Amino acid sequence: MGAKALEAEAITLPRRTVSAEDWAAVARTVPDRLLRWGSILPYYVLLAVWIIIDSPPALIVVLIFWGFFTVFSARLTPWLAATGTLALLVVADPEGWFLAVLWLGAAWFLGLGLVAGASGIRLALAVRRWRLHPDGPREVRRVMLKNTGALGKAGGRVRAFAVAALVFAVLQMAVVLVREPATELRELPAAITPGDSSVMVPVLGLSFWLMSFLAAWIVERVAGDVVLEVPVPPAAGPLRLARVANAVPRAEALRAGCTCGAKDRATNGELPQVLELDDECPLHGIEAVNALEPGQFLRVAREPWVWGANAALLPVAEHERMVIIGLHGWGSRPLVAEAPLPGKNPAAPTHTGYRPWRTAEVFNRSKRTIRWRDTNDAEVIPSDPLSGVEGVRDSIQLDAAGIRGFAVRRNGVRPRFETQPAPLMPRHLPRPEPRTSSTPSR
């Protein structure tokens, strides 16, 4: 069986419907922003202090470079900062107040890392309990596990970095040969010391990716693979959700007469799963939407293309749910089960429904919102609120579509969601002429 056939093969996994109460009860952890900036900034402050009060050796470059990985390490940032600080304790040979500050910084980084790690295991154990007590089976494509697993996510990056490191080392050797033509190939190992960047850069990089992969692999082994049906409302649970606006799904774009996605059509290649919305489209444009009868509008009211950028104003239905696969712990990137997989661009949307964006903690879950973006991953900005009744066509109550509120349609713009109906422009009727009396005057 070929690799593609094997990936398309269906496998059976346990399925669990997570109640709103269990989803809201997922234990909180240290917010991702605090982990990142609470580690990056103090770490570089410590390095800056060392540079100011001492004359650090060339190894300072390695410690600075090690800090660069904190930008990509997410919840591993405290551990990178801690290892860098411990190395600083060894190399700098500090005394007095600087020694105390370094130990205080190391304790801070270790504390952040331990708290984040413990809460990560708690989430993995919660997923494990859901997996061990399923509500039934569910078939999914094997390729979805590959795209949510640690090896599938990190393997390509590790290979790319390994190739880059090899090229970097070869270039470094070439520089040695150019600068010292008398150097022979067999003398190169002696000419390049462990402190050279050609050695340290690949070692540090591969160490970082190994650490990332190992942490993700352990969490995956604890949680296991399970299909979860979870609530969509964003104020609870560990997921930050995303949705695409100003876009139509390919099925809509293939309808006769649709002009959406002109750039993609011009390539004469296979159309992507989601195409850019055209406001002039005879089927999905502004005038086409505003011309729909109320009953027709209600049938498509839940489709983001109807609203354009104003889709970002739509509330999430209280009992709306979605089925995901690949939730293992903090930092995992689940997928909607059976949704089309992304092509060359892994961040590109493959459908216009809700989808997991990131398993990340925030400071205040109650203020968390849906991350609306367009097909180019740019922020979606809704139109301005109504400032008057001019141009208002009608207000359609959306209860029949499962949305509490109204669609206010105005001439020349996309409908806008409002919690109250908009007053219509008063009609100016012709003033009646005064009646002439039919009673003869005396």
Q: Percent of the chain having pLDDT more than 90?
A: 46
Q: Is the pLDDT of residue 294 over 70?
A: yes
Q: How many CB atoms within 10 Å of residue 247? A: 27
Mean pLDDT of 56-69: 74
Rounded Cα distance between 13 and 134, Å, is: 9
Q: Which range scores top for mean pLDDT: 74-78, 150-154, 341-345? A: 74-78
Closest to 101 in 3D by CA, of 61, 162, 42, 152: 42
pLDDT digits (tens, 9 = 90+) for 164-210: 666 666 666 666 566 666 555 555 555 555 555 555 666 666 677 77
- Contact at 8 Å (CB) between 231 and 18? yes
Closest among 319, 238, 243, 245 to 276, alpha carbons compared = 245
- Model pLDDT for residues 225-248, shown as the tens digit of each residue: 999 999 999 999 999 999 999 999
At 296, the pLDDT band (50, 70, 90 cuts) reads very high
Determine the pLDDT at residue 172: 62
pLDDT (0 to 100) of residue 431? 46
Res 430: pLDDT: 44
pLDDT at residue 87 in the model: 86
Between 129 and 214, where is the model more confident?
A: 129
If you search the block for the tokens 């996309």, which residue do you land on?
414
pLDDT surpasses 70 at 253: yes
How much is the pLDDT for 165?
Answer: 60
pLDDT value at position 199?
Answer: 59
Can you give the pLDDT at residue 442? 34
pLDDT of residue 246: 94
With tokens 């060894």, the residue in question is 90
> What is the Cα–Cα distance from 406 to 403, expressed in whole angstroms?
8
- Of the candidates 21, 51, 129, 40, the one whose C-alpha atom is nearest the C-alpha of residue 78 is 40
What pLDDT score was predicted for residue 298? 95
Mean pLDDT of the 328-336 span:
89
The count of other CB atoms within 10 Å of the CB of residue 393 is 15
Q: How far is CA 204 from CA 69, 243, 356, 407, in A?
A: 9, 37, 31, 55
Task: Say if residues 82 and 115 touch (Cβ distance below 8 Å).
Answer: no
Q: What is the pLDDT of residue 157?
A: 55
Residue 95, burial from CB neighbour count under 10 angstroms (0-12, 13-18, 19+): exposed
Decide if 15 contacts 229 (C-beta within 8 A). Answer: yes
Q: Percentage of the chain surpassing pLDDT 70?
A: 78
Contact assessment for residue 432 and residue 333, using Cβ atoms and an 8 Å cutoff: no
Distance of CA 352 to the CA centre of its chain: 15
Query: Is residue 105's pLDDT more than 90?
Result: yes
d(CA 410, CA 415): 7
Q: Is residue 217 very low, low, confident or very high in pLDDT (cuts 50, 70, 90)?
A: confident
User: Can you give the residue ranges of every domain in the chain?
Assistant: 32-131, 232-373
Q: Which of 227, 327, 230 is nearest to 10 (CA)?
A: 227
- Please tell me the predicted confidence (pLDDT) of residue 270: 83
Task: Give 248: exposed, middle or buried? Use CB within 10 Å, 0-12, 13-18, 19+.
Answer: buried
Task: Give tens-digit pLDDT for 370-411.
Answer: 999 999 889 999 988 876 667 788 899 999 998 999 999 999
**pLDDT tens string 422-440:** 776 554 434 445 544 444 4
Nearest to 30 by CA among 18, 41, 22, 38: 38
Segment among 205-214, 264-273, 397-406, 416-425 with least mean pLDDT:
205-214
Lowest-confidence range among 94-103, 121-130, 162-171, 344-353?
162-171
Distance CA(18)–CA(25), nearest Å, equals 11
Q: In angstroms, rounded to a whole number, what is the distance separating the alpha carbons of residues 399 and 410?
A: 20
pLDDT tens for residues 13-50?
A: 999 999 999 999 998 999 999 999 999 999 999 999 98
Q: How confident is the model at residue 161 (pLDDT cuts 50, 70, 90)?
A: low
The lowest-confidence range among 55-64, 112-121, 300-309, 314-323 is 55-64
Tell me the average pLDDT of the chain: 82
